[in-house]
Structure 1
Amino acid sequence: MASSASRQLFRAATRAAAPARRGFTNSSSSVNASARAAFRQGSAGAGRRYYSSEAPKSGGSSTLLWVGVGAVGVGAAAYYLTQNGGAAAAPKAFKPEFKDYQAVYNEIAKRLQEHDEYDDGSYGPVLVRLAWHASGTYDKESGTGGSNGATMRFAPESNHGANAGLINARNFLEPVKAKFPWISYSDLWILGGVCSIQEMMGPKIPYRAGRADRDFNSCTPDGRLPDAAQGAQHVRNIFYRMGFNDQEIVALAGAHALGRCHTQNSGFDGPWTFSPTVLTNDYYKLLLGSKWQWRKWDGPKQYEDKETKTLMMLPADMAFIEDKTFKQTVEKYAADNDLFFKDFSAVIVKLFELGVPFPEKTETFVFKNLDE
């Protein structure tokens, strides 16, 4: 109840801080400053003309160089601890429980609080994007891709345009992996997305563990993630391939309440909402309630809100109100944040579990937020 009350107070403050839209010249600085001060925390997909992206930091991927084929397949089931008594003791299989995964969640959440220098004040959006892109490569016909593998650690998948800048999210999670070596990268990346959604005022996201890492031979081909410069038919083609219907597609798009695009990654620029580190249904409200016009600039075609010129929408976003079937769901979510949260939680779980052969009766965990 306390968490729910805090969430409601924050949203009220966010809306009060947002402009009546006229005369507003600073897109999100005041809102996000309040968010960081109150919660000590603060993008779904982007690459070259892909969904949301984030600014890459200076430096390379040296922290990942040790990750090789020898580390592939290291997960909870393959990690061993030796009993007290020295080298002669028989190894004992380590079987992580809920408390162990909660400890990983807490470590990620603490790092989100401690490292608020990224983008609008949180690594949360880019961690959601990492989990999204690790999962969204799934093809239901061939059974390839999905979150079971963490193959973005390797080229060529790490170099796909849609994954530009995600080295930042992977590097952010490396200290967590070092502290909890029993968890697979595949499970860790998804847990990072779950934690980020919940810590950014989103709904609870049920989580099942059991993903196993794979090597570069399982890298998926380029082009499986959405191209944000395209329209409704392209969006349907991409998501139908994964197994989603129209309502689920629109629910997933609500993740664009988080994060922003950057020219150095996707070519596009700007946030979708005034509070890009807090998950709300504002993405849908802005789609319907704002007036959008083509931005006049040297970059790829994108929209800007006519009143403040500080928010942006991509051609694929506008498809959700140009297509009659999509628009009906947009209207429902714009009118009911609780409905959006309910459907978003269900569909993001479906996305995060694509391609994972969970054994029967695999336990489902619902994690406590760090402040609970």
Structure 2
Amino acid sequence: MKDHAATQGACPFRGTRIGGAQGSEPNVNHWWPNRLKVEALYQDPPQSNPLGRDFDYAAANAKIDHKALWEDVRAFLHTPVDWWPSDYGHYGPQMNRMSWHSAGTYRIADGRGGAGQGMQRFAPINSWWDNGNTDKSRRLLAPIKAKYGAGLSWADLIALAGTVALEDMGLPVQGFAYGREDAWSADVNTYWGPEGWFGKPPSEQPADPQLGHPEQMVNRGLRWEGGPKDDHYDLENPLAASHQSLIYVDPEGPGGNGDPMDAARDIRETFARMAMNDEETLALVAGGHAFGKSHGAVPASEIGGAPEIAKMSEQGLGWSNPVGSGNAEHTMTNGIEGSWTPNPTQWDNDYLTNLFKFEWEQTKSPAGALQWTPTDPDAPKTPDAHLPGVMNPLMMMTTDIAFKVDPAYRKIAERFLEDFDYFTETFSKAWHKLMHRDLGPTSRWLGPDQGDTFIWQDPVPEVDHPLINETQIADLKTRALDLDVSATDLIAAAWAAASTYRDSDKRGGANGARVQLAPQRGWTVNNPARLDRVLNALTGLKSDFDAKGPAKVSMADLIVLAGCAGIEAAAKAGGHDVTVPFVPGRTDATADMTDDESFEWLRPVVDGFRNYVDDAVGYSVSPEQIALDKAALLSLSAPEWTALTGGLRVLDQNWDGSDKGVFTDRPGTLSADFFRELVSTDLDWQPETDAETAFDLVDRATGQTRWHATRLDLVFGANAELRQISELYAGVDGERYFVDTFVRAWHKVMMLDRFDAKAERKAAVSDC
């Protein structure tokens, strides 16, 4: 008490400092870097959202005047402010870059990144060197955001600003959809690759005790192994950007090497991982570089730190520039200086015309960055962005020259040169795809002018028939269980259909019944022989039902419904009378609505729910880490992940029919047997090899092997957080908790892609 009284009013943080600022001491992730970070399942928790759980963004967005908003953004583009003047008197190119860099973080491997939640506002993305001065762009838009309030998310406004800018500068756009709801906290879980640049270029980095001095960092942070000159190009999955702290590629060439052919290979790999083909890639770059300029007036050594380490007096902005005005003609962004065209705020074909008409030589910017200048002294000049009457040489980056020297890109560029209308259409569509790629199915899209539907949107048909009612649902459940397939087979087909969903880009799921189409039908993890039996049986049931009319049942609905029937039967066998909810309304996609190559990215390389590991893939992390990542993509909580995995084990859902993790003498019955055996102290876990990928669970008393298991089973007993849940489910009263959680989580997964049934989906997701 005396000590307490003596310290009243003193600083509460009185611990000894190890070094650096208070709070910089090593933490749990430092000491145990390979720990299973279960907290990844709680990204952007509802407690961080000041709008509350019940806020309806669709309803709020519908109340705003979208036409007036569009015109407000257009007017802003032509209204410079003193604290950050616009280049050429037009903010269009600056907004274009901000939008592009927001959406361009998207990667097809796991669907993360993109414009969907406005993550450009938070670390680490807001402080990547490649996003230098995008903080100014967002701050310039703040008055518009304030005017429209909660009905206009930052995520939507960031994407909208660049789209309006392109239209204002002459590009016909494909429309625009709203619907991107804001995140309210930084994404600390997405793996972007090693982060060690602190918002500065590599030459200006402080020494890092683990990475060494910047000059020792191979190729300025390149993330691929082998490299573009080798026979293979092995960029670590799921990454898309080839360099740390960049959105795409190094504009000076891979590692700053100035080699256009290397840059071309780098561009091709990177943009492919962002879901763009060669034509879309060239259209986006050539179209984007038709506008604006690059900024390299001041050496990087003069520029302050990124927003996350900026001084308090800088008001949340980063990259302070002490030279001259600190902006306008003194602006520093990526270090390259100049414009690509004589008319930087007008949509035209001058970028490609200049690129191919002139020869280019390597030069250096005032900041010391490598760039290219025309060798012809009579080449067109470009007006200075801020100094009246001053004309400057044109500029190209190494990544621009790449399109001239790479044969495939050159062929596309020559077609764009010959047919400007075709180039215009291709760029417009590619921009639309870039802005909307992670927005999900059109049932999520909001606003009056959303544009056409494209195959990359994973379209599904509209419902064109009466839906089945409760009586028919009950009848179909009974008839499904009478088919010449087992209840566990029905469960397997439903899980194969629904579990492809990923909340990152809202792709996958049971709607569309793409599990009956290539490529999903043939995936090894789906056990194609078993899946074919179920689909053939359900097809017959569908035909019989539809023939009676007028209601019809889609295969997508029937697959899910039959799985629900299988769960109910399995629960009943375990003594639990449950009703698994079912909401009809799914429809069936066709092969011509499905992009095989794009859907192949949804194929799991590890599926912890079905004890599947693709042995052909080389892994740098443990299978359970990938299983956790999939649970996060399904937006599951730790109890839901645990219940679904343990439940699917006792329901005999291993992809290959093996007994690994099937800790029960009654497979096919929904019970808590998995958890009882998992946490039993009577069993000794003996690894089959030093790799500890497979185990025998041996009875300590008899020495007899009782069960076989994998890491994907035992993690739920080895990890401290997951074991607490498993022990609950194994308790004397735990089976009821387990069954209830399993049923709710099953329904949640079946409904994750049902944005067309908004109220029912919200209830299913929030109930868990």
Which piece of structure 1 moves more, 305-314 or 215-224?
A: 215-224
**Distance in 1, Cα, partners of 2:174 & 2:54:** 21
Measured at CA, do residues 364 and 325 of structure 1 come closer, stay the same or move farther in structure 2, by a change above 3 Å? farther
Equivalent position SS for 1:120: helix
Aligned in 2, Cα 1:220/1:111: closer, same or farther, shift over 3 Å?
farther
- Residue matched to 1:96: 62
Distance 1:69 1:172, change over 3 A: farther
For 1:126 and 1:281, the matched residues in 2 are separated by 19
What is the match of residue 443 of structure 2? 360
Which of 213, 233, 250 pairs up with 2:265?
A: 233
Quick one: distance in 1 between partners of 2:51 and 2:129?
A: 24
The range that moved more, 215-224 or 289-298, is: 215-224
C-alpha distance in 2, partners of 1:334/1:146?
30
| Residue 347 of structure 2: aligned partner | 279
Q: Provide the C-alpha distance between the structure 1 equivalents of 2:409 and 2:343, rounded to a whole number of angstroms.
A: 24
Q: CA deviation at 1:274?
A: 0.5
Rounded to whole Å, the distance in 1 between the matches of 2:169 and 2:294 is 18
Deviations 1:245-280 (A, max 9, x none): 111111101210111111121111000101111121
Match of 2:122 among 127, 134, 154: 154
1:266-345 matched pairs, under 5 angstroms: 266-295=334-363, 299-306=368-375, 307=377, 308=379, 310-345=393-428
- TM-superposed deviation, 1:113: 2.1
Task: Specify the SS of the correspondent of 1:295.
Answer: strand
Tell me whether 1:245 sits opposite 2:215 in the alignment: no
Q: Using the alignment, how far apart are the partners of 1:76 and 1:349 within structure 2?
A: 28
Pick from 112, 137, 152 the counterpart of residue 144 of structure 1: 112
Which structure 2 segments of 5+ residues have no match? Answer: 1-46, 193-244, 254-262, 297-331, 380-391, 451-768
Q: Quick one: higher RCO (CA 8 Å, sep 6+), 1 or 2?
A: 1
1:198 aligns to what?
A: 167
| Alignment match, 1:106 | 71
Cα 1:74/1:248, change in 2 over 3 Å? farther
**Cα distance between partner residues in 2 of 1:293 and 1:256:** 19
Distance in 2, matches of 1:304 and 1:205, equals 34
Given that 1:143 and 1:355 are in contact with CA atoms closer than 8 Å, whether structure 2 keeps it comes out as: yes
Q: Deviations over 1:273-314 (max 9, x none)?
A: 011111212111111112211225561221012225611100
Aligned residues: percent identity?
30
Amino acid at match of 2:290: A
Q: Note if contact 2:180-2:439 (Cα within 8 Å) is conserved in structure 1.
A: yes
**Alpha-carbon shift at residue 205 of structure 1 (Å):** 3.2
Q: Secondary structure at the match of 2:373?
A: strand
Structure 1: runs of 5+ lacking an equivalent: 1-67, 80-92, 368-372
- Post-superposition Cα deviations, 1:195-249, rounded to whole Å, max 9, x if no partner, equal 0000011112311111111121267733442221221111012101111111111
1:120 partner letter: Y
Contact 2:336-2:365 within 8 A present in 1 as well:
no
The aligned runs of 1:14-25 (5 Å cut-off) are: none
C-alpha separation in 2, matches of 1:130 and 1:75: 30
Q: Distance in 2 between matches of 1:268 and 1:284?
A: 19
Q: Give 1:167 deviation, angstroms.
A: 1.4
Tell me which amino acid in the other structure corresponds to 2:277.
N
Q: In the superposition, relative to structure 1, how do residues 287 and 149 fare at CA in structure 2: closer, same or farther (>3 Å)? A: same
Question: By how many angstroms is 1:124 displaced?
Answer: 0.5
Amino acid in structure 1 at the alignment position of 2:429 = A
**Equivalent residue for 1:20?**
none
8 Å Cα contact 1:257/1:276 also seen in 2: yes
Hey, what's the Cα distance between the residues in 1 that align with 2:365 and 2:139? 33
Aligned residues: 286
Query: How far 1:71 sits from its partner (Å)?
Result: 5.2
- The answer on 1:211 being equivalent to 2:244 is no
**CA drift at 1:173:** 0.9
Q: Residue 26 of structure 1 corresponds to which residue in structure 2? A: none
Residue 78 of structure 1 aligns with which residue? Answer: 57
Distance in 2 (CA, whole Å) between partners of 1:269 and 1:226 is: 17
Query: For 1:159 and 1:75, how far apart are their aligned partners in 2?
Result: 32
TM-score for both structures, normalised by structure 2 = 0.35
Partner of 1:259: 292
Using the alignment, how far apart are the partners of 1:144 and 1:190 within structure 2? 17
CA distance in 2, matches of 1:328, 1:145: 31
Contact 1:201 1:278 (C-alpha < 8 Å) held by counterparts: yes
| Cα 1:348–1:364 shift into 2, 3 Å | farther
Instruction: Give the stretch that moved more between structures: 355-364 or 149-158.
Output: 355-364
Distance 1:158 1:334, change over 3 A: same
Task: Specify the alignment match of 1:13 in structure 2.
Answer: none
| 1:79-111 Cα shifts (integer Å, max 9, x gaps) | 8xxxxxxxxxxxxx53516x7222211111111
- Partner residue of 1:185 out of 143, 146, 154: 154
Superimposed CA distance per residue, residues 118-163 of structure 1 (whole angstroms, 9 cap, x where no aligned partner): 1121111010111100000011111110110111111221110110
TM-aligned CA distance change 1:332 to 1:183, over 3 Å: same
Change (3 A) 1:71 1:147: farther
**Change beyond 3 A, Cα 1:295–1:223:** closer
State TM-score, norm by structure 1.
0.71
